[in-house]
């Protein structure tokens, strides 16, 4: 569940990008964009979507892995996140907030944030819509890119992935150049010194990604 969260969130390591789309809360447009990706790059989004679409994507993919009870929650009329309803044996249900963007949140807010109270919404209905058929095939280059991103980043800590998310978002929004982001990542890696190997490797991979040349 954490891996899906880090992959599908805004500026996560599958390079989805939040933007206003005024689309309904489903993933149809995301799959349409992914179908057309031929040369994915670490420097550009693989798809652009709004918060309700990103949350629907997380819920849909969670359901496809066999996890039940993931649906949509509106903490505000104009904002959507995902919620995972867990039913521990012999205990009351637990609602885990999965914020697929950082809207209304701070840098310290991540998976299972307490900033939104999911009990303000009476019911969380599991996302059961079949957005794409089982026969859907990713373009090979995009599929390989997604697997490569998992290999590079899935083992890093929440803190490191959050830092890289903000750097990646800045690239998408053109707040800074790839080289500036690469230098920032190297500085953060240096600050870790003898930190976890997975975190050091993630910062190193991000630096290499920022300095990579997009395919023609």
Whole-number pLDDT of residue 213: 74
Residues of the chain with pLDDT under 70: 214-216
Question: Please, is 76 exposed, middle or buried when counting C-beta atoms within 10 Å of its C-beta (0-12, 13-18, 19+)?
Answer: exposed
Which of 23, 31, 112 shows the shortest CA–CA distance to 73?
A: 112
Are 159 and 200 within 8 A, CB to CB?
A: no
Q: Domain coordinates of the chain in residue numbers?
A: 2-155
Are 23 and 50 within 8 A, CB to CB?
A: yes
Whole-number pLDDT of residue 214: 67
Question: Please, is 204 exposed, middle or buried when counting C-beta atoms within 10 Å of its C-beta (0-12, 13-18, 19+)?
Answer: middle
Whole-number pLDDT of residue 216: 56
Whole-number pLDDT of residue 181: 98
- 3-class state of residue 69 by DSSP: coil
Each residue of 57-104: pLDDT tens digit? 999 999 999 999 999 999 999 999 999 999 999 999 999 999 999 999
Longest dimension (CA), the chain: 57
Element (H, E) at 202: helix 197-210
Six token digits for residue 102: 């950082």
Tracing tokens 């995902």 back to the chain, one arrives at 82
Whole-number pLDDT of residue 215: 59
């Amino acid at each position: 569940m954490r891996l899906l969260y880090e992959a599908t969130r805004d500026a996560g390591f599958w390079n989805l990008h939040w933007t206003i789309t005024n689309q309904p809360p489903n993933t149809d447009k995301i799959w349409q964009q992914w179908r057309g990706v031929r040369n994915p790059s670490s420097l550009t989004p693989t798809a652009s979507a709004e918060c309700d679409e990103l949350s629907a994507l997380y819920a849909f993919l969670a359901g496809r892995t066999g996890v039940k009870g993931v649906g949509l929650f509106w903490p505000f009329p104009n904002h959507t996140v995902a919620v995972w309803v867990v039913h521990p044996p012999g205990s009351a249900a637990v609602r885990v907030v999965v914020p697929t963007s950082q809207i209304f949140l701070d840098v310290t807010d991540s998976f299972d944030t307490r900033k939104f109270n999911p009990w303000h919404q009476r019911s969380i209905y599991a996302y059961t819509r079949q957005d794409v058929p089982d026969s859907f095939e990713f373009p090979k280059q995009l599929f390989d890119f997604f697997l490569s991103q998992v290999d590079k980043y899935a083992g890093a800590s929440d803190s490191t992935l959050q830092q890289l998310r903000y750097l990646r978002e800045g690239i998408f929004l053109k707040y800074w150049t790839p080289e500036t982001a690469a230098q920032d990542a190297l500085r953060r890696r240096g600050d870790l010194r003898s930190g976890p190997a997975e975190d050091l490797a993630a910062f190193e991979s991000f630096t290499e990604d920022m300095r990579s040349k997009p395919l023609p």
